[in-house]
């Protein structure tokens, strides 16, 4: 390209790199020893890897969210002391931060957390998930580059690096993600595998004897095997990996856990507990290292003083490049700036038209129409399904950007994940973490179980990932109990910070998507029906915009005198309305509430919540095709729950409704037996 940045960084000499490695090794061990808690083995053994990576990263601590910075994900999050030592040399943290390692309220928690520590690109700890999230980050870089770079302006061209351990490469999610990354040819993804061959139980030969390199090569990765303590071999492998942009790279670095320790090197006892004051002192003496805690040699400090200036110069030169890009590509630049800021286009809500009441519609089908209308207005909305696109109905056909990568995976904005739910969730989180996209992914609600850890991480990181779950009830029918969710809604709601939406009809689905898109402080799960549902007639019911309140009085008729409150979610709302009608025929007064999102309801003002759930209305009947967990506070001590306490059956939906008690006569019988 014509506008090529000229700032280049020459790696330091072997002698200085080894001194940087020892600095990282012992400052990391000092953190663990001072806290008397943590994992010293990997930081001490992977110090050379960290040193070589650190001197090749493109970052600047003055702008931790610079979009074209290299991403670094510590997939083996238990080695957090090593990451914090790196961040200290980069300028993100101070030595005082390192002295507070694992202390309450510190910027150096036990595992890397985005909220707590500047410079951390992903919260990690569950092994293997970091590789999955990094795959999403690398794909985000490629998708943005393909869309917004021009022949003379490569404004997006960074790398994504991962440091992983033996445990990461044992977890299935890592191989799901690596298989996908190899298939996509994500050449700017580089994983360094710290292969110290030690696990908590003992040597990895107890459980792990496969040829990881051969497996990775079979998945389309370029593989190197190097001495992980030889900085020159490591550097050469990384430099070659950076030159091959057709394939992701795996650098297998053979290391010794707790390197330098006279009694604990190579032993599992060094993995998850301080090595001890005497052992640490002996390790330092063996390397000719000063005995003082948190020692940083002057030549290392001086080197990073210079390096931080070079990093600043790289970012400033990129800023100049971007300024020229803005002048020559006004519209493209404005759109890129908007999506990187996470702001939605103006008037985007006007893109969605309300649904007519004449024809019943499954909320999964309504969701597809909503997504396509939104897709035309919001180019950064991207996502896909775990090989269930025709069933989830999550394909975006309108507003597709033909400039996205032309391959089997990147079709406009539709991503094909294959049957890889866990990696799909991690990948989606990686897209959200990178910035520039509002990502969604989809599977059946019952298969949320395959990706629950990634939803939990999304909630922990407060990122805008959207999880679409269709086939949300036993109305799946003949597919049987393996495909019929029972406990999944409660399981989702049990995760803090996540909002779980189960819309009752097509128009509630519009507002569920609106809430998900407007939310910037956490993930959203949207649970949709397979079966057709009536589009509720809002001329006699509350307007659909009330959906955003999480729970609202749907049928206001006689509500001031109501003696029974019926609450339902999703496809069970029509049953609640039918039950209320039957009760009114008996001369009973009722109030019917739709509760599409309990979490959104809890955020409403206390006065509103009391209005919907007045104390006087103690006879509360909740209808939801799932377990009661999570509804106890709303039911109170006199309520009834119409739900499931066991798995379903294979059969026609109407037959299942009869057998499981989801009919008006069955509900009336329960009301009668309760003495209401």
Nearest-angstrom CA–CA distance, 127 and 78: 9
Strand locations in 14-171 (E): 71-74, 160-165
Helix (H) or strand (E) holding 373: helix 363-377
Tokens read off for 658? 């009869």
Dihedral pair phi/psi, residue 440, rounded to 5°:
-135, 160
Strand locations in 173-329 (E): 189-195, 198-199, 202-203, 222-227, 249-254
C-beta contacts of 602-610 below 8 A and 24+ residues apart = 602/550, 603/550, 604/549, 604/550, 608/549
Q: Whose CA is closest to 570, among 512, 645, 497, 641?
A: 512
CB 449 within 8 A of CB 469: no
Dihedral pair phi/psi, residue 600, rounded to 5°:
-65, -35
- Regarding beta strands 438-444 and 381-385, do their DSSP bridges make them parallel or antiparallel, or are they unpaired? parallel
Which are the contacts of 292, defined by CB distance < 8 A and separation ≥ 6?
none
**End-to-end alpha-carbon separation of the chain, Å?**
77
Q: What is the CA radius of gyration of the chain?
A: 28
CB 429 within 8 A of CB 403: no
Half-sphere exposure in the Cβ direction for 166 (13 Å, CA): 26
CB 219 within 8 A of CB 135: no
- In the chain, how long is the greatest CA-to-CA distance? 90
Number of other residues whose CB lies within 10 A of the CB of residue 327: 9
- Write out the catalytic residue numbers: 421
Nearest-angstrom CA–CA distance, 496 and 499: 9
Q: What is the dihedral of CA 425, 431, 432, 438, to 10 degrees?
A: -100
Q: In angstroms, what CA-CA distances link 415 with 122, 248, 440, 520?
A: 22, 19, 10, 22
Number of other residues whose CB lies within 10 A of the CB of residue 396: 23
Dihedral pair phi/psi, residue 40, rounded to 5°:
-85, -20
Tokens 């939406």, residue located:
501
Question: What letter does residue 383 receive in the DSSP assignment?
Answer: E
Nearest-angstrom CA–CA distance, 519 and 381: 14
Tokens read off for 448? 């949320």
DSSP 518-585: H--SS-EEEE--SSEEPPP-TTTS--GGGGGGSSEEEE-TTGGG-SEEEEE-GGGHHHHHHHHHHHHH
Which are the contacts of 102, defined by CB distance < 8 A and separation ≥ 6?
31, 35, 37, 38, 108, 109, 110
Tokens read off for 519? 């939310």
Nearest-angstrom CA–CA distance, 467 and 443: 8
């Amino acid at each position: 390209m014509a506008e090529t940045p000229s700032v280049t960084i020459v790696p330091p000499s072997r002698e200085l790199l080894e001194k940087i490695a020892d600095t990282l090794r012992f400052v990391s061990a000092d953190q663990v020893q001072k806290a008397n808690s943590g994992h010293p083995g990997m930081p001490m053994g992977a110090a050379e890897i960290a040193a070589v990576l650190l001197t090749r990263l493109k970052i600047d601590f003055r702008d931790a969210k610079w979009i074209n910075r290299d991403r670094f994900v510590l997939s083996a999050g238990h080695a957090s002391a090593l990451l914090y030592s790196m961040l200290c040399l980069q300028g993100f943290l101070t030595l005082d931060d390192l002295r507070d390692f694992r202390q309450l309220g510190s910027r150096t928690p036990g595992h890397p957390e985005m909220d707590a520590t500047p410079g951390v690109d992903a919260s990690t700890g569950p092994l293997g998930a970091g590789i999955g999230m990094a795959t999403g980050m690398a794909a985000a870089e490629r998708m943005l580059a393909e869309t917004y770079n021009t022949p003379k302006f490569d404004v997006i061209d960074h790398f994504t690096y991962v440091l992983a351990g033996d445990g990461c490469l044992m977890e299935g999610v890592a191989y799901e993600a690596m298989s996908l990354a190899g298939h996509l040819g994500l050449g700017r993804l580089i994983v360094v595998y710290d292969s110290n061959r030690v696990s908590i139980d003992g040597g990895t030969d107890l459980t792990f004897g496969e040829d990881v390199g051969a497996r990775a090569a079979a998945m389309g990765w370029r593989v190197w095997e190097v001495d992980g303590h030889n900085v020159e071999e490591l550097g050469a492998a990384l430099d070659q990996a950076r030159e091959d942009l057709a394939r992701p790279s795996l650098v297998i670095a053979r290391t010794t856990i707790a390197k330098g320790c006279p009694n604990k090197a190579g032993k599992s006892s060094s993995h998850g507990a301080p090595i001890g004051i005497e052992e640490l002192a002996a390790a330092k003496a063996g390397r000719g290292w000063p005995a003082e805690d948190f020692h940083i040699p002057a030549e290392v400090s001086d080197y990073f003083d210079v390096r931080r200036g070079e990093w600043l110069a790289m970012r400033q030169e990129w800023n100049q490049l971007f300024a020229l890009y803005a002048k020559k590509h006004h519209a493209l630049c404005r759109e890129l700036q908007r999506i990187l800021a996470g702001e939605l286009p103006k008037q985007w809500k006007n893109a969605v038209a309300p649904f007519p009441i004449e024809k019943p519609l499954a909320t999964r089908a309504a969701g597809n129409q909503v997504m396509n209308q939104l897709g035309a207005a919001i180019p950064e909305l991207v996502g896909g399904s775990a090989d269930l696109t025709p069933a989830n109905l999550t394909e975006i056909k309108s507003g597709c950007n033909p400039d996205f990568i032309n391959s089997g995976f990147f079709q406009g904005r539709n991503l094909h994940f294959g049957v890889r739910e866990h990696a799909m969730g991690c990948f989606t989180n990686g897209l959200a973490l990178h910035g520039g996209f509002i990502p969604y992914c989809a599977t059946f609600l019952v298969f949320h179980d395959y990706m629950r850890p990634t939803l939990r991480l999304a909630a922990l990181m407060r990122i805008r990932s959207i999880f679409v779950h269709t086939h949300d009830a036993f109305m799946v029918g003949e597919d049987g109990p393996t495909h019929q969710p029972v406990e999944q809604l409660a399981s989702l709601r049990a995760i803090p910070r996540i909002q779980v939406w189960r819309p009752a009809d097509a128009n509630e689905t519009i507002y569920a998507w609106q809430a998900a898109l407007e939310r910037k402080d956490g993930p959203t799960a949207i649970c949709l029906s397979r079966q057709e549902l009536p589009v509720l007639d809002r001329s006699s019911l509350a307007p659909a915009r009330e959906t955003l309140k999480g729970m609202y009085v749907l049928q206001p008729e006689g509500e001031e005198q109501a003696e029974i409150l019926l609450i339902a979610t999703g496809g069970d709302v029509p049953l609640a309305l039918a039950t209320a009608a039957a009760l009114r025929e008996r001369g009973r007064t009722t109030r019917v509430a739709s509760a599409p999102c309990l979490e959104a309801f809890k955020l409403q003002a206390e006065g509103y919540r009391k209005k919907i759930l007045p104390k006087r209305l103690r006879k509360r009947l909740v209808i939801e095709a799932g377990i009661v967990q999570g509804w106890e506070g709303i039911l109170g001590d006199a309520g009834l729950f119409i739900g499931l306490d066991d798995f379903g059956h294979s059969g026609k939906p109407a037959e299942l409704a009869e057998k499981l008690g989801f009919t008006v006569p069955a509900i009336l019988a329960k009301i009668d037996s309760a003495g209401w």
